[in-house]
């Protein structure tokens, strides 16, 4: 039996929409930070945010630092198990931090990381996500910059994965069990 039991079901956010949204999102970030934008720490949440973060930081001013935060919330499934640190957290004492994540659904990862950065002495902590699910927990979680709001379906592509698979897709897609006609809804 194959290790992959899901397949793409349909495009949720096309690559062209992501490409159009990135410069607008970068402008929102620069405007919000004002003078502090020169020298902020970008903390992408690995590994899901690596493509989004790479495309975003190329549109931001030159003086910034990128230090990844490796946190895992999913095992081999489609339900979050809650965040846990898997590596070294960035040094942020006295610095402005922008957390960059792929998706906001339960809010646990961003809440956890925001507190980690505050505990490490960050001057300020803001968050930017590519996707926010239209569910109460996500909508209630503070997040200053949002790429797209999406329905409550399990998605992959543009860095997001299912058990490590599908990160390479240019579009964000919904997934379904192989041979089943409907997308997975959580």
Mind listing the pLDDT tens digit for each residue in 54-110?
999 999 987 899 998 887 665 555 555 666 666 667 789 999 999 999 999 999 989
Residues 3-42: pLDDT tens digits?
A: 678 899 999 999 999 999 999 999 999 999 988 777 799 9
**Boundaries of domain holding 104:** 15-151
Of the residues 55, 102, 105, 171, only one is catalytic, namely: 105
Token readout for 179 is 């041979």
Q: Classify residue 108 by its DSSP letter.
A: H
pLDDT in the model for residue 37: 73
User: What's the pLDDT band for 120 if we cut at 50, 70, 90?
Assistant: very high
Cis peptide bond upstream of 47, omega within 30 = yes
For residue 1, pLDDT beyond 50: no
For this structure, is 161 an active site residue?
Answer: no
Q: Is the residue at 33 inside a domain?
A: yes
Residue 182 forms part of a structural domain = no
**What is the reported pTM?**
0.88
User: In terms of Cα–Cα distance, which of 174, 170, 168, 169 is closest to 186?
Assistant: 174
In a domain, 81, yes or no: yes
Tally of domains in the chain: 1
181 falls within a domain: no
Does 186 score more than 90 pLDDT?
no
| Secondary structure element (H or E) that encloses residue 96, with its range | strand 96-104
CA neighbor of 166 nearest in space, from 67, 58, 47: 47
Decide if 166 is inside a domain. no
């Amino acid at each position: 039996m194959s290790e992959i039991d899901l397949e793409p079901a349909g495009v949720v956010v096309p690559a062209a929409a992501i490409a159009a949204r990135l410069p607008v999102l970068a402008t929102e970030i620069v405007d919000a930070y004002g003078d502090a934008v020169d020298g902020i720490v970008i903390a992408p949440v690995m590994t899901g945010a690596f493509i989004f973060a790479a495309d975003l930081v190329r549109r931001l001013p030159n003086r910034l630092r990128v230090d990844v935060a490796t946190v895992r919330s999913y095992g081999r499934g489609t339900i979050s198990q809650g965040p846990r640190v898997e590596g070294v957290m960035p040094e942020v004492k006295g610095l402005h931090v922008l957390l960059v994540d792929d998706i906001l659904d339960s809010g646990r990862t961003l809440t956890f990381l925001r507190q980690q950065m505050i505990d490490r002495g960050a001057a300020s902590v803001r968050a930017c996500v590519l996707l926010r699910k239209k569910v109460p927990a996500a909508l209630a979680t503070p997040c200053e910059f949002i790429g797209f709001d999406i329905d409550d379906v399990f998605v992959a592509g543009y860095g997001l994965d299912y058990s490590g698979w599908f990160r390479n897709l240019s579009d964000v897609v919904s997934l379904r069990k192989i041979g089943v006609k409907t997308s997975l809804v959580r």
